[in-house]
Amino acid sequence: MSKVCVIGLDGGTFSVIDYLVDKERLPNFASLMGKGSRATLLSTVPPLTWPAWASFYTGTNPGKTGAADLFKFRPGTYQLEPMNAGNLRGEPIWSLASSKGKRVCVYNVPVTYPAIPVNGILISGLDAPSFNDRSIYPLEFKERLLAAVPDFKITFENDAKYLVTHHKDPVRQWIRQAMAYLDMEMRVIDYLNQLEEWDLFVAVIRSTDIFQHTLWRDAEKIMEGTEFSAEELLRAEAVFACYEVIDQKLGELASAWGSERNIVIMSDHGFGRLHGQVCMNRVLANAGLLKFHPVSSRKRSRAYLGKKLRAHLPVQTKQKIKNFLGKGQADARWSSYVDVLVADIDWSQTRMCSIGGFGSLFINLKGRDPMGTVGSEAERQAVLAEAEAVLSELKDPRDGLPMVTELYRREELYHGPLITEIPDMVVNLRDWSYCPVVGTASELAEKAIIRPPVQEWKQLAHSGTHRREGILLLNGPEISHCDLGVAQMVDIAPTVMNLLDLPALEDWDGRILEDALGGGAARVVSGMEGYQQSRTERRGKVYSQEDEDEVRKRLEDLGYL
């Protein structure tokens, strides 16, 4: 009976792997590539953790999962809710495998909170607000895990701003903390792997993304062979050391599994240099597509205060701040249906807005949004055309070239019943090397519409961001040796199910990577035929206010807010 292990490297990229393989520093990656199959794994658009992992484990595009960014609007409001397993649709591969009696173990995959029942173990990933009773199944396993790994954490807990202001050597201290988190991830994977011979083992290593966001510029400099300082080499070597630790673990796991296990190594997106940020809503406002409230700088500072402090304060203090910010008719936008990230927008005079840090644009639609201004489909298409025209005029201040590489209307990218819940347009800014500024208060505080990367964290400021080109490596007894060229995120689910000798679902959007499987035929069933329905729909509120504040704080600490 076939067994499959999927190891996800958040942000894993061949640009680092190939460089280190050439330097003979990753012998196990070299062995896997030498014997198995390889592909550039294209992420979703935008190339973002949440939608990418969701498409991986459901085999479907964002038009079916409903996940296209970090947030989505709560129905009937301008309140943004973080994506999680409770507001996402689609049947995970581990649920399908469980329903056929397969033993499964899932660790650290984003968009898996709250944890669902499986035939085995599931430990939620980045969207879990804490290691609470809803972030693990079965609950009785929680004490066993903490006994085996006492320092277990859901995510990397680090305050870069604190380090740069309170530590004499913030970079080295940050690297020590990040390496400790990586070591914890390795010990958890070891422990879970040793519990039994799982039919399906899925684990995501987030450390690659953590190191690269902060230290990418230095790693890129070394890989390009340009002149570098001792400090830059130190920072780059931390990135390389992260891959070396993972390489060693892959060798240990492969040795423990012997020749019986098929191994899939993948990433949700690739990585590259972050060159700057763009105040997208100000661009839309200048074009007449959006209107800001005419608030004073004091009121804008209130908005900034609310955004920064709500997640860090006791419940009673949060309520006092909320009451303060909501005083008076002029601040009515602070009511329960408006989110702090878009608090300065006058929705009654806005046709389109930008949400999040990866170029997602939403139409303010009549009949769906509380103060919708765009009615017919013809009007919607006209707004999209206006946005395309103005965005195409943006120029990069570095070289005068167009800022926009590509503009995607959602119909070009997605299909499915949830297409109206996802962005109307996605903007690719210079091959994803620029990101939108998140939050209207932050945008309005900026002097320039296009700015270099924010340096609030000084030595630990982000210098890297996502690219679409991720990694895919397959190795094992049923894997051929070939170069697959390019694969899609949605191809992994049907391929994994095929390796488990289970059929794919008819409504999946991916294809089985047959060339990697020696030409194995695709097996397809209609709908859920042959499977038990193992997952109930939870289209309701998952987070308490405290939970949501904690998730937002984490996203801010990670540089996404």
C-alpha angle 141/142/146, rounded to 5°? Answer: 120
What does pTM read for this prediction? 0.90
Q: What is the pLDDT of residues 460-478, one digit of tens each?
A: 888 999 999 999 999 999 9
What is the reported pLDDT for 538?
Answer: 46
From 68-72, 106-110, 195-199, 265-269, the region with the lowest mean pLDDT? 68-72
454 CB-contact burial (10 Å; exposed 0-12 / middle 13-18 / buried 19+):
middle
381 CB-contact burial (10 Å; exposed 0-12 / middle 13-18 / buried 19+):
middle
What is the reported pLDDT for 455?
Answer: 75
β 3-9/360-363 pair status: unpaired
What is the reported pLDDT for 303?
Answer: 46
Greater pLDDT, 540 or 523: 523
Q: At what angle do helices 27-35 and 14-22 cross, to 10 degrees?
A: 100
Nearest-angstrom CA–CA distance, 472 and 244: 18
Q: Find out whether 535 and 116 touch, Cβ atoms under 8 Å.
A: yes
pLDDT tier at 312 (50, 70, 90 boundaries)? very low
- State the sign of the Cα–Cα–Cα–Cα dihedral 482, 488, 492, 494: negative
Q: What percent of the chain has pLDDT over 70?
A: 88
Tokens of 167: 């530590």
What is the reported pLDDT for 315?
Answer: 46
Domain 3-44+81-271+466-557: state its class.
alpha beta
- Neighbouring CB atoms inside 10 A of 229's CB total 10
DSSP structure string for 476-497: STT---EEEEEEEGGGHHHHHH
Domain with CATH 3.40.720.10 in the chain: 3-44+81-271+466-557
Q: What percent of the chain has pLDDT over 90?
A: 70
From residue 538, alpha-carbon distances to 123, 304, 529 in Å are: 18, 33, 22
In the chain, the N- to C-terminal Cα span, in Å, equals: 45
DSSP structure string for 385-452: HHHHHHHHT-B-TTTS-BSEEEEEEHHHH--STTGGGS-SEEEEETTTTEEEPPSHHHHHT-SSSEEP
Q: At what angle do helices 315-325 and 545-557 cross, to 10 degrees?
A: 80
DSSP structure string for 26-37: -HHHHHHHHHSE
